[in-house]
């Protein structure tokens, strides 16, 4: 049997987009959207897919359960997995921003209260600016934090800005551009380098 | 009395096999018999895999540490003999924070060091033993030794920016083989395109030394790294003698290996076994550490992580999922 590349795809719209890229490159798999199965393979194309929670993709890859995975730059910067980041897939494009209620000004007098899911990214950003912060780790509905006075600002992903506008928030500072990256396991790459490089060329 | 090898655990069998290999190659066993002052580790924190160390106060009031590493102790305690060569190996428990659990663990580590008159021929000997060690512990699994020259990488990166922050970001992108990240960082910092291309071209190289050396020479011609190529070529001549002997080595050249440039220089290498998701063997030349410790000797060595080897045959991936739906 030839080499099979195990691919961890993030569940949801982004993962489906990434799968379409793989399919167009000749790595299609007939029953991939079959709701009951968890693992899908096309031995002729040399590929096997599984859907996992987006933030778990780097864990599957770092620990070698998947050879290759697709995940956002935000997740890579937040968890800093020890993997190769071989390609920018140019999809899932959005921005990591600091957002605040309209008209907010940071006067620097007290530590800035920052609500976010992305604790590392927020800490790195403010540490590079030398600004003292009080970090508030939330797991969802971040936009509500400044409305309720829980935080001064939020650090979050913004795609269209509609959610911010609907909650009377605006982008206060841009931190970085985000897109989806193709990652591989540092050990697995050595034993499947030909197959992985072929995949990279085709996508 | 006859000894029955079956009473040994897998780890003990591996240690037994490696001790035999190193003894036959003329290396002598080194044993640490005392606790080091905490100061030794605190002064060389960046050399350690983790800067956290378990400390305790000795009966005389001195702050001591449970060893997180063996190389530092060997370097400190061994006589400085720049004209002679000390060939040593060790198997010791070390105490450090595990990347996987985030807590302190007792980790069995086996290693080998050449200290003294350790030139390129000795580097080739150590790399050869690293490859043989992988062959011994990999059982029936495939393995590979990735080899790089960190001086070539450092010279290129130093020539790209005066900013320590940019150079450090470049090195972390190098270790992730993140070519698109290097290109955008170069563009943001007005680094000339040809310098950026040399680095990304060098990172794309991946293959056996006889296959890719001509390409590496071509990429580095006229660049800062050119001065170092001869050292790499000389070590490789020791590994691949004329006439094609040993052409079937499981060695690849790959410049994504990045070590702390305050300690390491020249050859660096990492060993991987198919099915173990992490590196099981790490080694390289550390002449710079010797200078920091005020020693004139040169040095090169490697360590094998016996706990990581414990993942062999237990891991997920191909063997776990193959024919899952046919069962």
With beta carbons less than 8 A apart as the criterion, state whether B134 and B280 touch. yes
- Tell me the helix, strand and coil percentages in chain B, rounded to 5: 40, 20, 35
Measured in angstroms, the CA of B138 and the nearest CA of chain A are apart by 14
Are the beta carbons of A63 and B177 separated by less than 8 Å? no
Are the beta carbons of A188 and B315 separated by less than 8 Å? no
Closest CB to B277 among A63, A86, A193: A63
Are the beta carbons of A191 and B180 separated by less than 8 Å? no
- A194 and B CB contact within 8 Å: no
> Which residues contact residue B138 at a Cβ distance below 8 angstroms, ignoring those fewer than 6 apart?
B273, B274, B312
- Predicted local confidence at residue B316, as pLDDT: 55
Q: How do B85-97 and B28-29 pair as beta strands?
A: parallel
Q: Chain A partners of B180 at a C-beta cutoff of 8 Å? A: 87-88
User: In B26-90, which residue ranges form alpha helices assigned H by DSSP?
Assistant: 38-43, 71-77
- Predicted local confidence at residue B74, as pLDDT: 93
- Give the span between the Cα atoms of B91 and B303, in whole angstroms: 9
- A187 and B CB contact within 8 Å: yes
- Tell me the helix, strand and coil percentages in chain A, rounded to 5: 30, 35, 35
CA angle B242, B247, B248 (to 5 degrees): 165
With beta carbons less than 8 A apart as the criterion, state whether B111 and B89 touch. yes
Are the beta carbons of B317 and A191 separated by less than 8 Å? no
Task: Provide the strand spans (E) within B204-266.
Answer: 251-253
- Phi, psi for B172 (deg, rounded to 5): -70, -30
CA-closest candidate to residue A152, choices A128, A134, A167: A134
Instruction: Find the helix or strand (DSSP H, E) in which B288 lies.
Output: helix B287-292
- Give the span between the Cα atoms of A16 and A14, in whole angstroms: 5
Distances (CA, A) of A24 to A5, A28, A199, B208: 16, 7, 11, 32
Chain B residue nearest residue A90, CA to CA? B180
With beta carbons less than 8 A apart as the criterion, state whether B267 and B124 touch. no
Are the beta carbons of B316 and A64 separated by less than 8 Å? yes
Q: Chain A partners of B305 at a C-beta cutoff of 8 Å? A: none
With beta carbons less than 8 A apart as the criterion, state whether A182 and A200 touch. yes
Half-sphere exposure of B142 toward its Cβ, with a 13 Å CA cutoff? 12
- Phi, psi for B173 (deg, rounded to 5): -70, -35
Residue A54, pLDDT above cutoff 80: yes
- Give the span between the Cα atoms of A68 and A22, in whole angstroms: 12
- A95 and B CB contact within 8 Å: no
Q: State the CB neighbour count (10 A cutoff) for residue B121.
A: 12
CA-closest candidate to residue B158, choices B69, B232, B88, B227: B227
Q: Chain B partners of A82 at a C-beta cutoff of 8 Å? A: 99, 278
In the 8-state DSSP scheme, what is residue B16? H
- Give the span between the Cα atoms of B36 and B64, in whole angstroms: 6
**Contact residues of B toward A, CB < 8 A:** 99, 142, 144, 146, 176-181, 206, 252, 256, 272-279, 315-318, 320-321, 324-325
Measured in angstroms, the CA of A197 and the nearest CA of chain B are apart by 10
Q: State the CB neighbour count (10 A cutoff) for residue A181.
A: 27
CA-closest candidate to residue B127, choices B299, B308, B278, B267: B267
Instruction: Find the helix or strand (DSSP H, E) in which B5 lies.
Output: none
- Give the span between the Cα atoms of B312 and B117, in whole angstroms: 36
Q: Would you place residue A133 in the very low, low, confident or very high pLDDT band (cuts 50, 70, 90)? A: very high
In the 8-state DSSP scheme, what is residue A111? P
Q: What are the residues facing A96 on neighbouring strands?
A: A157, A176
With beta carbons less than 8 A apart as the criterion, state whether A153 and A168 touch. no
- Predicted local confidence at residue B242, as pLDDT: 80
Sheet containing B63-65: which strands, arranged edge to edge?
B36-37, B63-65, B55-57
> Which residues contact residue B231 at a Cβ distance below 8 angstroms, ignoring those fewer than 6 apart?
B120, B149, B151, B266
Best of B177, B203, B258, B276 to disrupt the A interface (most A CBs within 10 Å) is B177
User: In B57-175, which residue ranges form alpha helices assigned H by DSSP?
Assistant: 71-77, 120-137, 150-158, 164-175
pLDDT in tens, chain B (327 residues): 777 888 888 888 999 999 999 999 999 999 987 899 999 998 888 788 777 899 999 999 999 999 988 999 999 999 999 999 999 999 999 998 887 788 999 988 999 999 999 999 999 999 999 999 999 999 889 999 999 999 999 999 999 999 999 999 999 999 999 999 999 999 999 999 999 999 999 999 999 999 999 999 999 999 989 989 999 999 999 999 886 667 789 999 999 998 777 788 999 999 999 989 999 999 999 999 999 899 999 999 999 999 899 888 775 556 666 656 554
- Predicted local confidence at residue B327, as pLDDT: 46
> Which residues contact residue B301 at a Cβ distance below 8 angstroms, ignoring those fewer than 6 apart?
B71, B111, B112, B113, B114, B115, B126, B283, B286
With beta carbons less than 8 A apart as the criterion, state whether A188 and A65 touch. no
Q: What are the residues facing A132 on neighbouring strands?
A: none
Are the beta carbons of A37 and B325 separated by less than 8 Å? yes
């Amino acid at each position: 049997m030839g080499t099979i590349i195990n691919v961890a795809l993030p569940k949801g719209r982004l993962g489906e987009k990434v799968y379409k890229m793989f399919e167009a490159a000749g790595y299609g798999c007939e029953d991939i959207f079959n709701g009951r199965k968890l693992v899908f393979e096309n031995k002729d194309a040399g590929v096997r897919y599984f859907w996992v929670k987006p933030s778990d993709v780097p864990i599957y890859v770092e620990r070698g359960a998947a050879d290759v995975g697709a995940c956002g730059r935000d997740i890579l910067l937040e968890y800093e997995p020890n993997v190769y980041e071989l390609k920018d897939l140019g999809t899932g494009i959005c921005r990591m921003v600091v957002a605040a209620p309209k008209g907010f000004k940071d006067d620097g007098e007290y530590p800035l209260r920052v609500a976010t899911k992305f604790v590392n990214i927020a800490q790195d950003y403010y540490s590079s600016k030398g600004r003292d912060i009080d970090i508030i780790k939330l797991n969802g509905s971040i936009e509500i934090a400044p409305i309720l006075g829980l935080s001064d600002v939020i650090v979050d992903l913004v795609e269209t800005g509609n959610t911010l506008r609907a909650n009377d928030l605006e982008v206060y500072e841009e931190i970085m551009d985000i897109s989806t990256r193709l990652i591989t396991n540092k050990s697995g790459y050595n034993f499947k380098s030909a197959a992985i490089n072929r995949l990279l060329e085709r996508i | 009395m006859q000894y029955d090898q079956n009473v040994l655990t897998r780890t003990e069998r591996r240690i037994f096999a490696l001790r035999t290999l190193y003894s036959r190659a003329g290396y002598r066993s080194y044993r640490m018999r005392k606790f080091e002052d905490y100061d030794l580790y605190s002064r060389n924190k960046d050399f350690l895999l983790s800067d956290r160390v378990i400390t305790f106060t000795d009966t005389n009031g001195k702050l001591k540490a449970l060893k997180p590493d063996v190389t530092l102790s060997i370097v400190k305690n061994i006589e400085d003999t720049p004209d002679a060569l000390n060939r040593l190996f060790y198997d010791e428990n070390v105490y450090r924070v595990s990347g996987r659990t985030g807590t302190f663990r007792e980790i069995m580590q086996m290693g080998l060091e050449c200290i003294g008159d350790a030139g390129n021929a000795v580097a080739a000997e150590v790399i050869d033993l690293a490859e043989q060690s992988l062959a011994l512990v990999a059982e029936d699994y495939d393995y590979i030794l990735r080899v790089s020259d960190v001086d070539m990488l450092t010279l290129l990166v130093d020539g790209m920016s005066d900013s320590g922050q940019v150079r450090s970001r470049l090195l972390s992108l190098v270790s992730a083989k993140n070519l698109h990240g290097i290109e955008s960082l170069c563009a943001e910092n007005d680094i000339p395109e040809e310098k950026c291309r040399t680095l990304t071209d060098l990172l794309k190289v991946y293959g056996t030394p006889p296959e890719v050396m001509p390409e590496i020479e071509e990429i580095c011609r006229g660049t800062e790294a050119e001065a170092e190529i001869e050292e790499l070529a000389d070590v490789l001549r020791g590994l691949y003698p004329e006439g094609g002997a040993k052409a079937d080595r499981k060695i690849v050249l790959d410049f994504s290996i990045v070590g702390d440039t305050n300690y390491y220089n020249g050859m660096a290498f990492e060993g991987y076994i198919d099915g173990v998701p992490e590196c099981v063997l790490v080694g390289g030349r550390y002449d710079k550490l010797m200078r920091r410790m005020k020693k004139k000797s040169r040095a090169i060595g490697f360590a094998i992580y016996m706990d990581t080897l414990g993942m062999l045959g237990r891991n997920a991936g191909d063997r776990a999922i193959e024919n899952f739906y046919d069962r």
